[in-house]
Structure 1
Amino acid sequence: MPPIQAPMYPLSMLSSHLLALLFGSSYVGSLYVAQNARLRFSTRTPDTQQRRYMPGSRDDPAVIRARLTAVTIATLFNCAVLYALITRSTAPSFDSSASILAILGVRWPRSILSCLQTPVLFLGPLYGSYLAGTLPGQSQYSLQHDFLGMFTTWVGFRNYVWGPLTEEIVFRAYVLAVYAMGGAARWKMIAFAPLVFGLAHVHHAWGTYNRLGRTKDALRRAALSTVFQTAYTTLFGAHTSYLFLRTSSLIPPITAHVFCNIMGIPQIQSEMRQFPAQKRTIIAVYITGIALFSYTLVPWTETPGSLYWRAPDAFWRAAMQAS
């Protein structure tokens, strides 16, 4: 019996790494290349509401529009690069039937349960919101402020619509596609792709440092917040990468991204201080959420025939047969 020949992947692992960095750096770099998208800082110390809409600030509608335009162009540019790589490879289609859209995860997931993975993990924060009465239908929930105000402003559109959409396209679909083209094992894709996503948030340190006054204390706070944000986004990126690989769909990662942006960082200590009588229950619900998340992670994301959750050589088996 002749030895089994290793599949010849279109890219080397080094090329996959470099392309992943290109996708990430071009996305972030577009915010600084476009002049109107750059932040401007003032030496004044306005209050929170004034700072939010100060001309040139991160939440200035003009800056948001410029930044959304910049990342859209970067996303389209990276799509063109990926399209050229795929069409010039020895396997222009995966398993002789997959299209470019399928490679990018433009499809509905097999089960809606894959979109509920993140809400299960956030069972504790959701319980905290319930105690505060801020869930939909409760006394402290406002349709005008908490829903319409969230999705009909430029800040809301950036945070909950266009930001999650373009980031998941670039940092999940594009990055994982080039790693698959390099023959990376699944665990490597789940490990490497989130690093690119985490590093893409390091640039926030510059804005934090300037916003806090460019002092030594500002530098320390910027460094600490950036380390935490990078670690958090890297872990989140690992989760959404897993969702994408398991389902071969961008819908679960996008819904997870939107949901996390809405919920924010879990505040268990703040919730226990606010509701001391429910302290043990809050801890129990947090633990229950983590346990249920772990228990449902595999069955809820099960997708028979997933384009990405196969052995790595399945991507390019057609090319090997053709050659």
Structure 2
Amino acid sequence: MLPQLLDPSEGILFCALVAAGFVGSFYLFPGALFASRNDPAVIRNRFKASLGSCVVSSVSMVLLLQYKGVIGYEVSILGLFHSLGFRFDGLMAALFLPLLLTAVIFFGPIMSEGLIHEALPFQPGFNSAFNIFALRTYVVGPIVEEIVFRMCMIPPLKASGFSNVAIIFGSPLFFGIAHLHHAWEAYRQGGSTPHALRQAVSSSIFQLAYTSVFGAYSAFLFLRTGHIAAPILCHMFCNYLGFPDFEAIRHDPKLKTALMACYVGGVAAFSFMLFPLTEPGMYHSVLW
């Protein structure tokens, strides 16, 4: 348990600065403001920016916590990593159980992918291509976002006296708002028209909603397990499956009932398994 030595306003301000720095770093490169996020050169530049954000945010958080006396200057590097979610005790459980839990709630979409799209591994529609776009979506994005928005934000918020519930439902707002910069590109690609503006706003509101929901789940996993590996792996898994394609159920009336049962059953099983599979004692969590 981290001692509560930060003022709540300091914790919130730190998180806001970290989020602003993360997004702002994407636009430090020449021409970045008007470049497409899917341009390979832009992606490579954002890889560099993300890495820089991880380093700056992590170092800044440690210095803040040390300055405020939350962690001592005498703490070893190993002890520091342990406090930030990089440790071996409870690691196997953190690598497997949260991922299993996430697969359970995605049981409906997984069955839909397999039965309708035939896009699961070893099926004809499975996309095994690995390129810079896949690297961004399935590897780099989840790692840097979980480090910046979970590992670097949750400890200062805990040290500011915020409850677990407040952190789970409050901290994802930084994560969701940080994705709103995509609206600018959507607006430009749509022709910078009033219609494009409406489309950009509506898509951004939707993105804010689902990134905030996922952020709450990710914060819950980090707090309950105390391992940053848990939300990283679940983030990778969710990015691979994407947002559930509910429309696909209607395309095959023969499978509609079975798929609906899979969706409902997955949500029900997830609700039943959520707390038992994330019991902090199994992971030796120091954050919950």
Tell me the TM-score normalized by structure 1: 0.82
Contact 1:39–1:58 (Cα < 8 Å) also in 2: no
- Structure whose CA Rg is larger: 1
The structural deviation recorded for 1:106 is 1.2
Residue matched to 2:123: 138
CA contact (8 A) 1:93 1:100 kept: no
1:193 corresponds in structure 2 to 171
Deviations 1:56-113 (A, max 9, x none): 421111111111101211221111111111222324259x898221222113535121
The answer to whether the Cα contact below 8 Å between 1:168 and 1:250 also exists between their aligned partners in 2 is: yes
* 2:98 aligned partner: 114
The match for 1:320 is none
Determine the structure 2 residue equivalent to 1:252: 230
Aligned to 1:102: 82
- Residue type at the aligned position of 2:84: L
Match of 2:256 in 1: 279
Mapped partners of 1:10, 1:134: distance in 2 = 50
1:183 is displaced (CA, Å) by: 1.4
- AA aligned opposite 1:26: G
Could you say what secondary structure the match of 1:99 adopts?
helix
1:57 aligns to 2:56 (yes or no): no
RMSD (CA atoms): 1.9
Superposed CA deviations along residues 7-42 of structure 1, whole A, max 9, x for unmatched, are 972210010000011111100111112325x153xx
The 4+ residue runs of structure 1 with deviation greater than 3 A are: none
Amino acid at match of 1:130: G
CA distance in 2, matches of 1:124, 1:31: 35
Residue in 2 aligned with 1:88? Answer: 67
2:76 is the counterpart of 1:76? no
Superposed counterparts of 1:134-213, under 5 Å: 134-141=119-126, 146-147=127-128, 149-150=129-130, 153-213=131-191
Note if 1:31 corresponds to 2:8: no
- Is structure 2 residue 111 aligned with structure 1 residue 127? yes
Equivalent-residue separation in structure 1 for 2:37 and 2:150 (angstroms): 25
What's the TM-score once normalised by structure 2's chain length?
0.91
What letter matches 1:181 in structure 2? A
Residue-by-residue CA offset, 1:247-276 (whole Å, 9 max, x unaligned): 00011101111111111110112x123222
Q: How far apart are the structure 2 equivalents of 1:85 and 1:201?
A: 26
Rounded Cα–Cα distance in structure 2 between residues aligned with 1:118 and 1:188: 22
Letter in 2 for 1:259: F
- Render the CA deviation track for 1:130-169: whole Å, top value 9, x for unaligned: 112111122333xxxx23x23xx11111111111100000
Aligned partners of 1:297 and 1:197: how far apart in 2? Answer: 22
Which among 17, 37, 44 is matched to residue 22 of structure 1? 17
Secondary structure class of the residue paired with 2:171: helix
Q: Gapped runs of 5+ residues in structure 2?
A: none
1:117–1:296 contact (8 Å) kept in structure 2: yes
Contact 1:75–1:166 (8 Å) recurs in 2: yes
SS in 2 for 1:87: helix
- Say yes or no: does 1:291 pair with 2:268: yes
